Amino acid sequence: MSHVLRTAPSRLESRLNKPVTKSQAEKIEALTAERIRTRKPLAYLLREAWFAGLRFYIDERAIVPRSLTGEFIQDRFQPWIEVKRVRQILDLCTGSGCMAIACARAFPRAHVDAADISEDALAVARRNVEKHRLRKRLRVIRSDLFSALKGKRYDLIVTNPPYVGRAEMKTLPPEHRHEPGLALASGEQGLDAIIRILAQAPSHLAPGGILVAEVGNSAATLQAHFPSVPFVWLTTALGDESVFLITAEELAQHRRAFTTSKSN
């Protein structure tokens, strides 16, 4: 409805008592019917998604933007990091580029790298960088995690990596079958990607820097895998706790546990 009425979802409530035109009603009904028939995520049907209060282009080449980290980006990760010291940011597994762009908006003095292994996803990210006019501060990079970022260090790393385990992949609703499997599946327990990130992140965080990662339903498995690691589980407004924060110093302290671990 907000798409057809050309208004932000956050402003839709103020329109609820106003009539729609016949043409608008027909478009809403057609989209509803297609959503039911195809089971495609609505974002793909609309070719747009909203994240952290911003509108993005999206299609089937990239996962639908829905990371809970957006809530914490809007708060600029307070009180865990000093805003004025954040000058270099990395969004790892960037997909459509939504988190990278939201971070660039939240930290206007920072330069941002947006990295992903998928060239298809990066094509979507580049389109969004152009849309938000951030080419001067935001660089899109093809990289298998940190592989193309040797020597680079960041004050803030955010990531929404693949975190779905093999058994869970089989139970996902049909909507997820339209999304790139590369952005979802992460080994037997859903930990393959995040363990690699934890092991390599100490070489890419500046002193005092932080890593913020979303791991979805694999949160409990990750904590059980590393019981001595002091992950700070951030709580969203709705009470979800699947996003963790960890400092550069804590990562370095537990690096051996990450580098010697096997997710299986």
Determine, yes or no, domain membership for 44. Answer: no
- Per-residue confidence (pLDDT) for residue 14, from 0 to 100: 86
Determine, yes or no, domain membership for 264. Answer: no
At residue 60's C-alpha, the angle toward residues 59 and 62, to 5°, is 85
Determine, yes or no, domain membership for 42. Answer: no
pLDDT in tens, the chain (264 residues): 889 988 888 888 888 888 899 999 999 999 999 999 999 999 999 999 999 999 999 999 999 999 999 999 999 999 999 999 999 999 999 999 999 999 999 999 999 999 999 999 999 999 999 999 999 999 999 999 999 999 999 999 999 999 998 998 899 999 999 999 989 988 999 999 999 999 999 999 999 999 999 999 999 999 999 999 999 999 999 999 999 999 999 999 999 999 988 654
Domain count, the chain: 1
Report how far residue 75's alpha carbon sits from residue 79's, in angstroms, rounded to the nearest whole number: 9
- Per-residue confidence (pLDDT) for residue 263, from 0 to 100: 54
Parallel/antiparallel/unpaired status of strands 205-214 and 243-247? antiparallel
- Per-residue confidence (pLDDT) for residue 185, from 0 to 100: 86
Which residues constitute the domain of residue 135?
62-259
Determine, yes or no, domain membership for 67. Answer: yes
Determine, yes or no, domain membership for 14. Answer: no
DSSP state of 181: G
Report how far residue 200's alpha carbon sits from residue 182's, in angstroms, rounded to the nearest whole number: 20
Determine, yes or no, domain membership for 54. Answer: no
Helix, coil or strand: residue 105: helix
Determine, yes or no, domain membership for 132. Answer: yes
Beta strands in 83-200 (DSSP E): 88-92, 111-116, 138-142, 154-159
- Per-residue confidence (pLDDT) for residue 9, from 0 to 100: 86
Query: pLDDT tens digit string along 19-70?
Result: 899 999 999 999 999 999 999 999 999 999 999 999 999 999 999 999 999 9
pTM as predicted: 0.92
Determine, yes or no, domain membership for 238. Answer: yes
- Per-residue confidence (pLDDT) for residue 241, from 0 to 100: 92
Q: What is the CATH number of the domain that holds 246?
A: 3.40.50.150
Give exposure, 142-158, as e/b (b: 16+ Cβ within 10 Å). ebebbeebeeeebbbbb
